A and B are shown apart, each in its own frame.
Chain A
Amino acid sequence: MSDAMAQFRDAFFEEATELADGMEATLLSMDLADVEVEDLHTLFRAAHSIKGNAATFGFPEVAAFTHKLESTLEPVRQGSRPMTPDLRELLLQGVDLIRSHLHHARRGEALPLKEQQSQTVLIAKLQEDGGAPLSTLAAPVTAAKAEAPKGARGFSIRFEAPRDAFRRGVNLERLFRDLGRLGTLQTWPDLKRIPPLEQLDPEDCHLAWDIRLETTHPQADVDEVFEFVAEGDNLRIQPLTPEGAVPNLGEILQAEAGVSPADIREALSQQKRLGELLVDMGKVQPEVVTKALDQQQKKKNLAEASTVRVATEKIDRLVNLVGELVITQAMLAQASQQSNTMQGEEMMSAALLQLDRQTRELQERVMGIRMVPVEMVFSRFPRMVHELGKQLGKDVELLMEGQATELDKTFIEMLVDPLTHLVRNAVDHGMETKEERRMTGKPAMGSISLVASSRGGHIHIEVKDDGKGLNRDRILRKALDRGLIAPGSRPSDEELNLLIFEPGFSTVEQVSDLSGRGVGMDVVRQNVRALGGRIEVESETGKGTLIRLVLPLTLAILDGLTVRVGDETYVFPLASVLESFQRQTADVQTVKGDREVISLRGEFIPVVRLQNLLAVGSNPDASERTLLVLVESEGRRAAMAVDELLGQQQVVIKSLETHYKRVEGISGATILGDGRVALILDVPGLMRQEAAAATVGA
């Protein structure tokens, strides 16, 4: 800066300070009951001069702030806004701020943060306190901050910068600048995620912030700021308590005392729950509390489960269909009146064709009402994987596909636990540690994918990891130990892999905190079977594991194996059928008089005579049933004797209870293509019956 310019600047500061002093004197000497108009003009002129000069001499911040005072004074000078004691107070504070601005600007410093804040508050108050909003000068950031009045709504934001932020050329500074433009910003950096120096890759970004943004902008504007760095779970935006409602203590402490959200979270986590406190007081037993909590959860679940939200679009389509049906019905009625003419016959067959199509569509659509996107289960996993990975010190990313795939609502609820378990298992067991991955030349970031898709009447849900794969030898050893397979037998990979779903099976040598207690995988299988589905496992050592849940589209439709016993047709749920074979080829032995068993690969399996159990036909089991169907349920197997396998088909399940009453061994009924009724066999029920009969017989 040249000497001459410096001289001018000195002159500016002197003049401006004099003007500010003059404003103060005028404000103090003013008689509010009888305001001299000339005094108001003096005030306005002083502010106007300071603003103009400050802009000229390169102090935009001074200019911007004084501009606000000037705009406040304009309507007062015009007589449209009264000079109240409050306004005088605010203007006096404004004069103090001008002095402070000048003081710091003269030294080439920025206005201290504290004063910036009080400036923000002051400007907001000047605005609130009557009158039109202040016009803004082409303003620097500090002035723009003032746009959101204090106490306005806004957002509490938790932002964890993506690890590759630097490598992608993301400028985090800009982010805060853009946020600052939306309103008043308070930030608390969270450095806890930064690893120790020796593990720190300087090109990785480990920064996180808790942010409090007071703004009148909608959330979409905030989302937009984070557009390039939001990755699902690394950004959480919650609205602050709306104006008028009472904010919670933490929020007030954040705003007023600058207490960091991280500290508040920690304090809250130390706070004990009601149940714990009561237990501590000796008023109640822990089990009672657990029970009460369970009960509460059940009630919550029930409340959620008993209703279903349906897209209006789906309902509209149904309404349309019903409309079409009415027309078809009219067509049929008309056709039946002239059924003896050629034209009538044609019309009849056309109408019937239409009716057929409409009925089918109606069935599909009505079932569709129960369908909800699988997203509802998936949505919880990004967070879970993130936290698990953090806990276990593994870098894991979760990829999800097919979230829009629709599933029966009941399924969604029953899938939560199994999927949670599978995903957890994948992170905990499937995924190697960072070091192991590095040694085997894999990328440090492990990946787990969760894919839902709809394939020919089935829904596939796959949980896939790129971890170490199942350890064949270890599973084999364990299976032998547990007596799950006979010594010397050579199970296929497929069979071996499925052993991990046996109860009590866990190959993890060191039981970890998260999984590996040997419970869980069998529960996964149990739940999937209860849904009429099955599990497939594919695994390649060193490459990863894929677990696929194959589920029927809906509980209302079942994949069945239709069989003939005597004169009756029955349906086995396909999911419980393992295989079928000719009786002659099987090694059937008679034990305890009339009971039969077959010996299959070293295992004795009871033969169930369905005809006896179900009392089919008039004559008791005279003929030898020629075929055996091997079924499995809850880990037990049985060979069901039938006469004929009729085929495999999808059947619509009709409840027997609603139409008749509950029958042991029968889970429902269905109507076959030829109009006859077939009963659907309840395999676990049949086995229980058989076991009971065996005990009685013994």
Chain B
Amino acid sequence: MGHCILTVDDSSTMRQMITFTLKGAGFEVLEAGDGVEALEVAKGKKLSLVVTDVNMPRMDGITLVQRLRALPEFKFTPILVLTTESDASMKQKGKEAGATGWIVKPFSPEKLLEVVNKVL
């Protein structure tokens, strides 16, 4: 059973790195450039995991988490936020919004897979 993961980031390089890593590990990957697009892409899909950046145009990652959690089909879906600030406040904000966990940037492909495996 293939897992489908949605990666949300405004940096295409970042998205490519994440997609490449996750695809290499056998996951199906969808991409979105910001929160608004992510909500469109996610609509009607069955996702196993969402990995989202925080700072993005149009809709930031924290808002995206809140919006996803409000939808019945994503109520219990694991969501990871990518944060550059390793400080507790962003982690706390993510947690409060309903994120499952976080990955602190910069991270290696190994670290990404490690954390993905932790929640999936």
Please give the residue numbers on chain A whose beta carbons come within 8 Å of chain B beta carbons, in ascending order: 164, 166-171, 174, 178, 225, 227-228
Within 8 A of A (CB), among B21-79: 69, 75-79
Interchain nearest-CB distance for A402 vs B (Å): 13
Complex formed: what's the CA distance from A629 to B118 in Å?
67
Residues A167 and B101 in contact, CB atoms below 8 Å apart: no
Contacts A/B (CB < 8 Å), 27 sampled: A164-B98, A166-B76, A167-B69, A167-B75, A167-B76, A167-B98, A168-B95, A168-B98, A168-B100, A169-B76, A169-B77, A169-B78, A169-B79, A169-B100, A169-B119, A170-B78, A170-B100, A170-B101, A170-B119, A171-B119, A171-B120, A174-B119, A227-B101, A227-B118, A228-B100, A228-B101, A228-B119
Complex formed: what's the CA distance from A169 to B101 in Å?
9
Residues B78 and A171 in contact, CB atoms below 8 Å apart: yes
Complex formed: what's the CA distance from A167 to B78 in Å?
9
Interface size on B, residues (CB 8 A): 15
Complex formed: what's the CA distance from A168 to B120 in Å?
13
Residues B118 and A174 in contact, CB atoms below 8 Å apart: yes
Please give the residue numbers on chain B whose beta carbons come within 8 Å of chain A beta carbons, in ascending order: 69, 75-79, 95, 98-102, 118-120
Residues A174 and B120 in contact, CB atoms below 8 Å apart: yes
Residues of B within 8 A of A166 (CB): 76
Residues of A within 8 A of B95 (CB): 168
Interchain nearest-CB distance for B19 vs A (Å): 21
Residues of B within 8 A of A170 (CB): 78, 100-101, 119
Residues of A within 8 A of B78 (CB): 169-171
Complex formed: what's the CA distance from A633 to B69 in Å?
56
**Chain B minimum-CB-distance residue to A227:** B101
Complex formed: what's the CA distance from A164 to B101 in Å?
13
Interchain nearest-CB distance for B89 vs A (Å): 10
Residues of B within 8 A of A225 (CB): 118
Residues of B within 8 A of A171 (CB): 78, 119-120
**Chain A minimum-CB-distance residue to B114:** A224
Residues of A within 8 A of B76 (CB): 166-167, 169
Q: With contacts A168-B95, A170-B100, A228-B101 known, is A178 near B77, CB below 8 A? A: no
Interchain nearest-CB distance for A612 vs B (Å): 59
Residues of A within 8 A of B69 (CB): 167
Residues of A within 8 A of B119 (CB): 169-171, 174, 228
Interchain nearest-CB distance for A406 vs B (Å): 20
How many pairs of A and B residues are in contact by the CB < 8 Å rule? 37
Complex formed: what's the CA distance from A225 to B101 in Å?
11
Interchain nearest-CB distance for A154 vs B (Å): 21
Interchain nearest-CB distance for B49 vs A (Å): 9
Complex formed: what's the CA distance from A169 to B95 in Å?
11
Complex formed: what's the CA distance from A633 to B107 in Å?
60
Name the 5 nearest CB pairs between A and B, nearest first.
A228-B101, A169-B78, A169-B100, A169-B76, A168-B100
**Chain A minimum-CB-distance residue to B98:** A168
Residues of B within 8 A of A168 (CB): 79, 95, 98-100
Complex formed: what's the CA distance from A166 to B100 in Å?
9
- A sample of 9 more A-B contacts (CB under 8 A), given A170-B100, A171-B120, A228-B119, is A167-B69, A167-B76, A168-B79, A168-B98, A170-B78, A171-B78, A171-B119, A174-B120, A228-B118
Residues of B within 8 A of A227 (CB): 101, 118
Complex formed: what's the CA distance from A174 to B79 in Å?
15
Task: Give the one of B79, B101, B102 with max A CB within 10 A.
Answer: B101
Residues of A within 8 A of B75 (CB): 167
Interchain nearest-CB distance for A140 vs B (Å): 15
Task: Give the one of A166, A168, A170, A174 with max B CB within 10 A.
Answer: A168
Complex formed: what's the CA distance from A227 to B102 in Å?
9
Complex formed: what's the CA distance from A426 to B76 in Å?
34
Complex formed: what's the CA distance from A174 to B119 in Å?
7
Residues of B within 8 A of A164 (CB): 98
Residues of A within 8 A of B98 (CB): 164, 167-169
Interchain nearest-CB distance for A593 vs B (Å): 68
Residues A178 and B118 in contact, CB atoms below 8 Å apart: yes
**Chain B minimum-CB-distance residue to A228:** B101
Interchain nearest-CB distance for B42 vs A (Å): 14
Residues of A within 8 A of B118 (CB): 174, 178, 225, 227-228
Residues of A within 8 A of B79 (CB): 168-169
Task: Give the one of A164, A168, A169, A170 with max B CB within 10 A.
Answer: A169
Complex formed: what's the CA distance from A167 to B71 in Å?
12
Residues of B within 8 A of A169 (CB): 76-79, 98, 100, 119
**Chain B minimum-CB-distance residue to A167:** B98
Interchain nearest-CB distance for A233 vs B (Å): 15
**Chain B minimum-CB-distance residue to A178:** B118
Complex formed: what's the CA distance from A166 to B101 in Å?
13
**Chain A minimum-CB-distance residue to B100:** A169
Complex formed: what's the CA distance from A174 to B78 in Å?
12
**Chain A minimum-CB-distance residue to B101:** A228
Task: Give the one of A166, A170, A178 with max B CB within 10 A.
Answer: A170
Complex formed: what's the CA distance from A178 to B98 in Å?
22
Complex formed: what's the CA distance from A225 to B114 in Å?
11
Interchain nearest-CB distance for A238 vs B (Å): 23
Interchain nearest-CB distance for A164 vs B (Å): 7
Residues of B within 8 A of A174 (CB): 118-120
Task: Give the one of B75, B76, B79 with max A CB within 10 A.
Answer: B76
Complex formed: what's the CA distance from A170 to B49 in Å?
11
Complex formed: what's the CA distance from A215 to B78 in Å?
28
Complex formed: what's the CA distance from A178 to B102 in Å?
17
Interchain nearest-CB distance for A138 vs B (Å): 15
Complex formed: what's the CA distance from A164 to B99 in Å?
10
Interchain nearest-CB distance for A460 vs B (Å): 21
Complex formed: what's the CA distance from A227 to B120 in Å?
15
Complex formed: what's the CA distance from A169 to B76 in Å?
4
**Chain A minimum-CB-distance residue to B76:** A169
**Chain B minimum-CB-distance residue to A229:** B101
**Chain B minimum-CB-distance residue to A166:** B76
Interchain nearest-CB distance for A568 vs B (Å): 53
Interchain nearest-CB distance for B37 vs A (Å): 21
Residues of A within 8 A of B102 (CB): 228
Complex formed: what's the CA distance from A166 to B69 in Å?
11
**Chain A minimum-CB-distance residue to B68:** A169
Interchain nearest-CB distance for A161 vs B (Å): 13
Complex formed: what's the CA distance from A440 to B101 in Å?
33
Task: Give the one of B77, B98, B119, B120 with max A CB within 10 A.
Answer: B119
Complex formed: what's the CA distance from A541 to B120 in Å?
47
Task: Give the one of B69, B95, B99, B118 with max A CB within 10 A.
Answer: B118
Complex formed: what's the CA distance from A178 to B115 in Å?
11
Interchain nearest-CB distance for B17 vs A (Å): 22
Complex formed: what's the CA distance from A178 to B101 in Å?
15
**Chain A minimum-CB-distance residue to B78:** A169
**Chain A minimum-CB-distance residue to B97:** A168
Interchain nearest-CB distance for A10 vs B (Å): 29
Complex formed: what's the CA distance from A174 to B49 in Å?
14
Interchain nearest-CB distance for A185 vs B (Å): 16
Task: Give the one of A166, A171, A227, A228 with max B CB within 10 A.
Answer: A228
Interchain nearest-CB distance for A141 vs B (Å): 13
Interchain nearest-CB distance for B100 vs A (Å): 4
Residues of A within 8 A of B101 (CB): 170, 227-228
Complex formed: what's the CA distance from A174 to B117 in Å?
8
Interchain nearest-CB distance for B50 vs A (Å): 9
Complex formed: what's the CA distance from A456 to B99 in Å?
39
